[in-house]
A and B are shown apart, each in its own frame.
Chain A
Amino acid sequence: MMKTILSKSSKFGIVAGIILIFCEMINLTSTLAEILEKLFTGGTAAKNAITPFYMGLVVGLIVFFTTINFLRTRNSQKKYSFGQGFFAAITISIVSGLLISLLNIILGSYLVNGKDVRVYLEALAPDVIRAFLFQTDIRQAVTYYFMSTILGSMAALILFWISQKTNQPAKSVRAFTHLKEKIQIGRAFERYPAIKTVLILLLIIAFLLLPLVINAYTISVLGIVLIYAIMGLGLNLIVGLSGQLVFGYVAFFALGAYTFGLLTAPKPFGIEMNFWLALLVSLIVAGIGGFLVGLPIMNLRGDYLAIVTLGFAEIVRILINSNLMADYTGGPQGIKNIGQPIQPSIFEKYFGEPLEDNVWFLYLIIFVFLIVLYAAFRLQYSRTGRSWEAMREDETVAQACGVTTSSYKVLAIVIGAAIAGAAGALYASRNTYTGPSEYAFMVSVNALAVVVVGGMGSIPGTLLGAFIIKGLPELLRDLENYRMVVFGALLIVMMIIRPEGIWPVKRRKLSVAPESIEILKEDLKP
């Protein structure tokens, strides 16, 4: 028994140690410590001087969560006594402390010898290592890390045993369900549909008044979030509803942006078209792009679309960057002075003075967003939407039910691409500039993350995802560098733990009134 506990818990200790080392190597530990310090000391902490105490706190927290996880998973299989749990927790803390200390000893000896590890590990600046090592006092640092890992695992152990003895989490869950049953919000909605309508109307009005009260920075963040929400709604049609995976969604975004730019910028063509007309044209061009990409994979199953669109995105990116198209797209310089819509004079009449440009543009984005949202809702619950869902669940069965899968596939891609084109046009117009560097692969990944994190096929989920993916990182500026790492890990974890997303689709249940069943039975009697 002891032996299996030892091997299992040391495995967990190694995992915790690897996580610790990884966090230190990408400098996440000190960033987190900085955030914690700001949080506790009220934002007075000076940069570049992180107290080792907070580093230790971060280390302890990571070990804490690993230990809790270990105790929870193991205890569900086989109950441990307190002594066995203590033994496991101690093993985890010692193993992980050993690993993190080893790393710091190595780094410290390099630092003492005057070598800069930044040549190979760019994130680790010498002062960061110094902060890790208490100004290169290695012995003190090692003691400190062991202390924090042991404290972390002990805290986890005690918390776990308290929650076991008092049965607290289960009680809380039960209390929560009781509360939910008592309040019965959903029931009220069902009974009085007017409440729902009024609430939605209130929400929309609040949303419409929002741009008038927030500051310029929040306006720009909200603009980005909404543009990504538009993209997410488009991609949701393809990935969430029709079940086709698109990796190169940025291609359609770029097509829309460049078409819009070429039509409204003074150079190179000097057409300077009307905003709405240009928006429409860029939407159509992106849709045609989607059609061309959709054709070759129309009668193929599965994952080819993913790579074909990825290739298409690369083609678009290379072409707009190349000398071949430089006369039109401006090559690496991009297109400047892209047109913005003119404010109608109504606003001036009502408010006395014209709206500020960014507020006015935010209203424009909100307007397009609401149209796309409405279209997405209508599509999802239409015959087309149902065909897409059938296709997503099983292509063969969908075909047998009379869904022409090949044309519905292409239709999904065309509509999704057109929406992305509209988003691209808005984006280009908002920045009054568009260049090839803005259309990297990462934009596609962001759009995909918006859909997946929120919930594939769920419209409110997509909106939530857009806020989480684009809004939260803006609010947590300190963690900016780690955004993509976290997304990558998040995509994997979401697929394993909760593949339906944070806000999954609620299936409509088939409901039949009891009386009608009786009538049916009467009818069916021979």
Chain B
Amino acid sequence: MDAEKPHHEPSAKQTVKRINWLRWIVGVIAGAYVLYRIIIQIIQPEYGPVYWLGFLNTGLIVGGMYSLIAIGYTLVYGVMLLINFAHGDIMMLGCFAGYFTFEFFNFLKVGESNFLNAYPVPAIILAFLIGASVSAVSGFYLEKIAYRPLRNSHVRLAPLISAVGASIFLETAAQIMFGANKKTYKNPLLLERGTGWNIKMGDGMIIITKTGVFSLIMAVVLMIALYFFVQKTKLGKSIRAVSQDKNTAQLMGINLDRVTSQTFIISGILAGSAGVMWGLHNGLFNHFVGFLPGIKAFTAAVLGGIGNIPGAMAGGMILGIVESVGPAFLGIDFQLKDVIAFTILILVLILKPSGLFGKSSSSVEKV
């Protein structure tokens, strides 16, 4: 990119100048409104501290799953410069795979009870393994069938349109095959939904659910593992090299096809685990389960600076928390929780397109 910089710079400066007023207006309005709401919350609080902690709790749990999905977006974006629009549906496939695994274990009779409750720990581990591997395999074939033939396409939009096509195909195929009605995850008794530890605080009570704690721990463990994987192993090094400069990486003997495939496998593993967590924690799901988390995770990836792995992790957490705290903080209906995420996306793109943890604006030019 450096060689092309002189071409970019004048135009970038011009447009930045032109857009600055917009940035200022939007920034000042948004900042002033947030300040106003903070003052309101201090002067006449609607909710006690217990509620805020409760919101924080839900936000962290959902944020963990967002982070896992967002990492997939960021990794693929780094390697292919492509928004993998079907990533949410890869997560959906993982969710379905986990569901079928749990159903199977529920039918499997061991002595008087079933396998699911007789051996809950192996059952959960197996469900995660199967969910992750189904997602990984489908990610691998998705890239092979829908993206690889288009890598050198002369139509610039071709890979993105292909990604939309893949997303619709997976979603509607799942709808026809498994039905459109919502299904319920069968959790083992060990991780029953809704149960957990009640912590008394003042006059209120926070419920910390077992599934929530489990999901959060699992997400954090996976994220740490991924971080070390990307930093320490040879494959991680080659992924980083490809996302820095494709051509030079190839000159250094990195097989681009292989690295791309492996990136899709890794992001599939993370998305599949997130899918199983989603099912375990929320219970209800159907073929549409991947759509909203997918877009929100993309928002999280943009928030953290797309292409930036720690940024995606932090972005997911921040988005999860903001989304669950937001409605109460802004004093709006809880129905409008999804609006907050998309508003954040638009605000980030106006105020700081390179993301919270992104580098300077030169990387945005490339985007």
Which A residues fall within an 8 A CB radius of B?
22, 25-27, 120-123, 239, 243, 245, 247, 295-304, 306-308, 310-312, 314-315, 318-319, 321-324, 392, 396, 399-400, 405-406, 441, 445, 448, 452, 456, 481-482, 484-485, 487-492, 495-496, 499-500
Known: A26-B177, A304-B349, A322-B333. A314 touches B338 (CB 8 A): yes
* Inter-chain contact A491/B15, CB cutoff 8 Å: no
Kindly list the 10 A-B residue pairs having the minimum CB-CB distance in the complex, ordered from nearest.
A491-B165, A488-B169, A122-B179, A311-B342, A488-B168, A299-B15, A484-B172, A499-B155, A492-B165, A26-B176
Query: Which of the candidate stretches B132-140, B263-271, B291-299 sits at the interface with the other chain?
Result: B291-299
Smallest Cβ distance from B152 to chain A, in angstroms?
A: 12
Identify which of B176, B333, B367 contacts A123 (C-beta below 8 A).
B176
* Inter-chain contact A311/B168, CB cutoff 8 Å: no
* Inter-chain contact A488/B170, CB cutoff 8 Å: yes
For residue B11, CB closer than 8 A to chain A, the reply is yes
Smallest Cβ distance from B334 to chain A, in angstroms?
A: 10
Known: A445-B168, A491-B164, A492-B166. A499 touches B333 (CB 8 A): no
Return the chain B residue nearest A497 by Cβ.
Answer: B149
Contacts of B118 in A (CB 8 A): none
Identify which of B164, B346, B364 contacts A448 (C-beta below 8 A).
B164
Q: 6 new A-B pairs (CB below 8 Å) besides A307-B295, A318-B335, A324-B335?
A: A302-B367, A448-B161, A452-B161, A492-B162, A492-B165, A499-B158
* Inter-chain contact B177/A122, CB cutoff 8 Å: yes
Bound Cα distance from A315 to B340, whole angstroms: 9
* Inter-chain contact A307/B177, CB cutoff 8 Å: no
Contacts of A318 in B (CB 8 A): 335-336, 338-339
Contacts of B350 in A (CB 8 A): 295-296
* Inter-chain contact B364/A300, CB cutoff 8 Å: yes
Bound Cα distance from A324 to B331, whole angstroms: 12
Query: Which of the candidate stretches B16-24, B56-64, B224-232, B254-262 sits at the interface with the other chain?
Result: B16-24
For residue B187, CB closer than 8 A to chain A, the reply is no
For residue B150, CB closer than 8 A to chain A, the reply is yes
* Inter-chain contact A492/B145, CB cutoff 8 Å: yes
Contacts of A448 in B (CB 8 A): 161, 164
Contact with A along B88-131 (1 / 0, CB 8 A): 00000000000010010000000000000000000000000000
Bound Cα distance from A312 to B342, whole angstroms: 7
Identify which of A295, A441, A499 contacts B291 (C-beta below 8 A).
A441
For residue B365, CB closer than 8 A to chain A, the reply is yes
The count of residues in chain B whose C-beta lies closer than 8 Å to any C-beta of chain A is: 70
For residue B201, CB closer than 8 A to chain A, the reply is no
For residue B207, CB closer than 8 A to chain A, the reply is no
Return the chain B residue nearest A26 by Cβ.
Answer: B176
* Inter-chain contact A495/B153, CB cutoff 8 Å: yes
Bound Cα distance from A243 to B170, whole angstroms: 26
Contacts of A27 in B (CB 8 A): 176
* Inter-chain contact A311/B346, CB cutoff 8 Å: yes
Identify which of B145, B158, B169 contacts A485 (C-beta below 8 A).
B169
For residue B234, CB closer than 8 A to chain A, the reply is no
Contact with A along B149-191 (1 / 0, CB 8 A): 1100111111111101111111111001111110000000000
Known: A22-B173, A485-B176, A492-B162. A307 touches B83 (CB 8 A): yes
* Inter-chain contact B155/A311, CB cutoff 8 Å: no
Smallest Cβ distance from B37 to chain A, in angstroms?
A: 16
Known: A301-B366, A306-B83, A322-B333. A239 touches B176 (CB 8 A): no
Bound Cα distance from A490 to B170, whole angstroms: 13
* Inter-chain contact A25/B169, CB cutoff 8 Å: no
For residue B29, CB closer than 8 A to chain A, the reply is no
Smallest Cβ distance from A109 to chain B, in angstroms?
A: 15
Smallest Cβ distance from B154 to chain A, in angstroms?
A: 8
For residue B200, CB closer than 8 A to chain A, the reply is no
* Inter-chain contact A26/B333, CB cutoff 8 Å: no
Contacts of A490 in B (CB 8 A): 165
For residue B206, CB closer than 8 A to chain A, the reply is no
Contacts of B339 in A (CB 8 A): 314-315, 318-319
Identify which of A304, A445, A481 contacts B164 (C-beta below 8 A).
A445
* Inter-chain contact A315/B168, CB cutoff 8 Å: no
For residue B345, CB closer than 8 A to chain A, the reply is yes
Identify which of B165, B176, B333, B336 contacts A487 (C-beta below 8 A).
B165
Bound Cα distance from A405 to B164, whole angstroms: 26
Smallest Cβ distance from A489 to chain B, in angstroms?
A: 5
For residue B252, CB closer than 8 A to chain A, the reply is no
* Inter-chain contact B335/A298, CB cutoff 8 Å: no
Return the chain A residue nearest B22 by Cβ.
Answer: A295
* Inter-chain contact A301/B155, CB cutoff 8 Å: no
* Inter-chain contact B157/A485, CB cutoff 8 Å: no
Contacts of B160 in A (CB 8 A): 245, 303, 306
Identify which of B15, B338, B365 contacts A406 (C-beta below 8 A).
B15
Smallest Cβ distance from B356 to chain A, in angstroms?
A: 16
Identify which of B11, B295, B353 contacts A310 (C-beta below 8 A).
B295
* Inter-chain contact B345/A499, CB cutoff 8 Å: no
Contacts of B346 in A (CB 8 A): 296, 308, 311-312
Contacts of A488 in B (CB 8 A): 165-173
For residue B235, CB closer than 8 A to chain A, the reply is no
* 27 sampled A-B residue pairs with Cβ under 8 A: A22-B173, A26-B173, A123-B176, A243-B157, A245-B161, A296-B22, A299-B16, A304-B353, A307-B83, A307-B298, A311-B341, A315-B338, A315-B339, A324-B333, A324-B335, A324-B336, A396-B7, A452-B161, A456-B157, A484-B171, A485-B172, A488-B170, A488-B171, A489-B165, A491-B168, A492-B146, A492-B169
Bound Cα distance from A488 to B367, whole angstroms: 26
Contacts of A399 in B (CB 8 A): 11
Smallest Cβ distance from A309 to chain B, in angstroms?
A: 10
Contacts of B237 in A (CB 8 A): none
Contacts of B158 in A (CB 8 A): 495, 499
Smallest Cβ distance from B228 to chain A, in angstroms?
A: 30
Bound Cα distance from A481 to B149, whole angstroms: 29
